[in-house]
């Protein structure tokens, strides 16, 4: 199985990190190398531009690909989306000069809109029934309304800083995007693809969970069980030659602070909190 992965830019590092956490360590991948093996002899990585990944998958050069939903939509290809990988979150928005007269999408009729996403932009205006002139640029889109190249833009925003420093205001949201695992429709039932989906889901499931370990007097066990909602309840082990037990449990990250305090109150000691790499349910 070949997985197409962004070769550079902001999506490269988190994607490689995700593969590592999913147990697919990338071997002999070096800077500028365009393919790499993994610890799994059946899995190869192809490094491609984020924007080209839908094309690689559609053509069958790779069975699956990891890239932003925005890139997928822009490609116009119909691939199957298997997992939302929950990073690279951003919004594609219609934006116009703060002090100008474009304050709704209707105001863009007959005007010029610059974007790196012409396909997405044209689809959006078609759906809204607005006739706007879409011009394609390849970067620094935020500049175009200030040099009379465009009246408005459709561009990516996440923190909003770039729009703000360029005195642009959001008029409408066009698309909410994050990085997804996409597959060619012919391979979605392939066992290797299913394994990959399980591995990625296990990384996501572990992300907001923590593993708790502690010692406790045996006679406090009932109280401890009450405090630990746990995934299927805590694991309890005898501590040799002692009237104590070791208790292990998986807890939601957001509950850890409260749970640790409650555990101490009911007599637990030596409480360890660790991250979980993967959680296969």
Ligand X SMILES: Nc1ncnc2c1ncn2[C@@H]1O[C@H](COP(=O)(O)OP(=O)(O)OP(=O)(O)O)[C@@H](O)[C@H]1O
Q: Catalog residues that contact ligand PRP under the rule CB under 6 A.
A: 139, 142, 155-162
- For residue 88, state whether it binds ligand X (rule: CB under 6 A): yes
Contact by Cβ (8 Å): 46, 65: no
Q: Which is nearer to ligand X, 1 or 66 (CB)?
A: 66
User: Quick one: which of 104, 158, 235, 261 contacts ligand X (CB under 6 A)?
Assistant: 158
Compute the residue count for the chain: 281
Distance of CA 2 to CAs 46, 185, 261, 280, Å?
7, 15, 47, 23
Q: What are 217's two structure tokens?
A: 């007097």
Phi, psi of 89 (to 5 degrees): -75, 130
Site string for ligand X, 41-70 (x = CB under 6 A): ---------xx----------------x-x
In this complex, which beta carbon is closest to ligand X, that of residue 162 or of residue 195? 162
Question: From the list ligand PRP, ligand X, none, which binds 235 (C-beta under 5 to 8 Å, kind-based)?
Answer: none
Neighbours of 274 (CB within 10 A): 9
**What does 270 bind: ligand PRP, ligand X, none (CB cut-off 5 to 8 Å by kind)?**
none
Which CB, 69 or 259, lies closer to ligand X?
69
Shortest spacing between CB 53 and ligand X, in angstroms: 10
Least distance to ligand PRP, CB of residue 169, Å = 13
Q: What does 202 bind: ligand PRP, ligand X, none (CB cut-off 5 to 8 Å by kind)? A: none
> What are residue 45's phi and psi, to 5 degrees?
-105, 135
Nearer to ligand PRP, 1 or 154 (CB): 154
Residues 157 and 212: their CA atoms lie apart, in Å, by: 38
Three-state secondary structure call for residue 185: helix
3-state helix/strand/coil string of 218-245: HHHHHHHHHHCCCCCCCEEEECCCCCEE
Distance CA 56, CA 135 (A): 26
Residue 168 is a binding residue for ligand X (CB under 6 A): no
Decide if 201 contacts 84 (C-beta within 8 A).
no
Burial environment of residue 60 by CB neighbours within 10 A (0 to 12, 13 to 18, 19 or more) = exposed
- Which of 4, 11, 204, 250 touches ligand X by CB under 6 A? 11
Contact of residue 68 among ligand X, ligand PRP, none (CB under 5-8 Å per partner type): ligand X
Interacting stretch for ligand X, rule CB under 6 A, among 3-11, 38-46, 186-194, 258-266?
Answer: 3-11
Nearer to ligand X, 50 or 260 (CB): 50
Are 113 and 150 in contact, with CB atoms under 8 Å apart?
A: yes
- Cα gap 230→225, rounded to integer Å: 9
User: Can residue 156 be called a binding residue for ligand X (CB under 6 A)?
Assistant: yes
Shortest distance, position 116 Cβ to ligand PRP, whole Å? 7
Question: Which residues contact ligand X by CB under 6 A?
Answer: 9-11, 50-51, 68, 70-71, 88, 90, 156, 158, 177
């Amino acid at each position: 199985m070949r997985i197409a992965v962004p070769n550079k830019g902001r999506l490269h590092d988190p994607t490689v990190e995700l593969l590592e956490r999913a147990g697919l360590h990338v071997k002999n991948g070096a800077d500028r190398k365009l393919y790499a093996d993994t610890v799994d002899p059946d899995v190869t990585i192809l490094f491609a531009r984020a924007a080209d990944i839908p094309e690689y998958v559609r053509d069958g050069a790779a069975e699956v690909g990891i890239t932003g939903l925005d890139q997928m939509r822009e490609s116009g290809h119909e691939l199957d989306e298997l997992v939302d990988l929950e990073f690279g979150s951003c919004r594609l928005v219609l934006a116009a000069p703060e002090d100008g007269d474009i304050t709704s999408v209707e105001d863009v009729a007959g005007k010029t809109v610059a974007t790196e996403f012409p396909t997405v932009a044209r689809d959006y205006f078609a759906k809204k029934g607005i006739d706007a002139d879409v011009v394609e640029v390849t970067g620094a889109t935020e500049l175009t309304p200030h040099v009379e190249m465009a009246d408005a833009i459709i561009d990516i925003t996440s923190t909003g800083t770039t729009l703000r420093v360029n005195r642009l205001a959001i008029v409408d949201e066009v698309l909410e995007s994050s990085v997804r695992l996409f597959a060619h429709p012919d391979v979605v039932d392939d066992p290797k693809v299913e394994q990959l989906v399980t591995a990625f889901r296990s990384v996501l499931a572990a992300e907001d969970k923590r593993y708790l370990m502690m010692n406790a007097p045996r006679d406090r066990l009932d109280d401890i069980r009450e405090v630990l909602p746990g995934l299927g309840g805590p694991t309890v082990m005898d501590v040799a030659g002692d009237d104590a037990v070791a208790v292990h449990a998986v807890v939601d990250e957001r509950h850890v602070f409260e749970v640790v305090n409650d555990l101490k109150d009911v007599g637990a000691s030596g409480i360890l909190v660790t991250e979980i790499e993967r959680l296969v349910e």
